Amino acid sequence: MAKEIERKFLVQGDAWRKLGTGSVYRQGYIATQKAVTVRVRIANNRGYLTIKSPIVNYSRSEFEYEIPVADAQEMLDTLCDRPLIEKVRYKIELNGLIWEIDEFDGDNKGLILAEVELSDAQQQVEIPEWIGEEVSTDRKYFNSNLAKFPFSKW
Average pLDDT of the chain, as a whole number:
94
Q: Determine the CATH number of domain 2-153.
A: 2.40.320.10
Separation of CA 95 from chain center: 21
Catalytic residue among 29, 48, 58, 141: 29
| 3 pLDDT above the threshold of 90 | no
Q: Where are the alpha helices (DSSP H) in 4-142?
A: 69-78
CB count within 10 Å of CB 95 equals 9
pTM of the model: 0.90
**Average pLDDT, stretch 8-18?**
96
- Taking only the tens place, the pLDDT of each residue in 58-83 is 889 999 999 999 999 999 999 998 99
- Provide mean pLDDT across the span 112-129: 93
Catalytic residue status for 29: yes
Main-chain phi, psi angles of 53, to 5 degrees: -85, 175
Domain ranges of the chain: 2-153
Spatial neighbors of 121 by CB under 8 A, at least 6 apart, are 5, 57, 58, 59
